[in-house]
Amino acid sequence: MIKVVLCGYGQMGKLLHAAISKRCDMETVMIVDSTNVKELYLRCPKVDLIIDFSHPYMLSLMQDYVKTSGCALLSGTTGYDGDQLHVLKQLSHQTRVMYSANYSLGIAVLLQAVKNITPILKNTFDMEIVELHHRHKQDAPSGTALSIKEAMDPHHQYSSVYGRYALNESREKEIGIHAVRGGNAAGEHHVLYLGDDETLELKHTANSRNIFVQGALTCAKWLMKQPNGYYTMEQMIKGE
C-alpha cells in the first residue's frame, strides 16, 4: 500500500483523491495546503509519496519535508520558474522525483512527434503553438505549451513570441505561442508547421481531466519502483 500525501485540493486534487479512494494499492493519508503544511511533520512523519498539483509557492513549503522524510515526489504543478525547476532536480539527489506539466499519455506521444518532425521542417516552415484552457486556469501560456516549445527548440535557438499585436515585422527565428481562455475546456493544444502552400497540424484535445489523473497515478506506481533520480513521462513511456 502506497501512502500518499496530496498537495493541493483544487480540481485535480479532488479528482486524485476520489480516484485513489477507489484503489487497493494506494491510500491518501493527508491533504495539505499552505494553511496546514506544518501539521504534516506531526501527523505524517513517514509517507511514501507526495503528489503535488497545487501552486508553485508550495514547493518551498514542501521541500524540507521531502528531504527529511525521503518520500518520493510527483509534481504536476505548472508555472514553475527556473529556480524552482532547479529545486526539483536537486531534490532528486535524495529521492525519486517526477515532473510533468501534463500527465496525458497522448501529450507524451505528441512531444515525441514534435521532436522528430521539427528538425525536418524547421528551416522551411514557420512554427506556432496555440493552446486553449478553461477560464480559471491561472498560468499562461500553459506548462504544456512551454513543454512543446522546449521539444521544438531544445537548444533555445528561437525566440518566443507570446501573442501578436500591433505591426509585426517580418519574422526571424521565432516560435509563436498563443493562449486562449474560456468556458470549462480541459485543455487543447495545436502545433502548427506553416509552409508555402501547405500546413501540418498536430492537435491534442483533453475531453476530461480524468486523463491527467489516471496518467499521474500510472506514473506514480512506476516512480515508486525507480532508484533516486529525476524522471519524466518520456522516460516512463520509453521504459528507460
Distance CA(155)–CA(131), nearest Å, equals 22
Sequence-distant (6+) residues with CB within 8 A of 156 are: none
133 is catalytic: yes
Q: Which amino acid is at 27?
A: E
137 is catalytic: yes
Please identify which of the residues 55, 133, 189, 190 carries the catalytic annotation. Answer: 133
Q: What angle do CA 72, 32, 37 make, to 5 degrees?
A: 90
DSSP assigned state of 168 = P
Please identify which of the residues 3, 14, 137, 221 carries the catalytic annotation. Answer: 137
Distance CA(185)–CA(130), nearest Å, equals 14
DSSP-derived pairing of the beta strands 96-99 and 49-52: unpaired
Taking alpha carbons only, the member of 107, 115, 67, 63 closest to residue 85 is 63
Which are the catalytic amino acids?
Answer: 133, 137
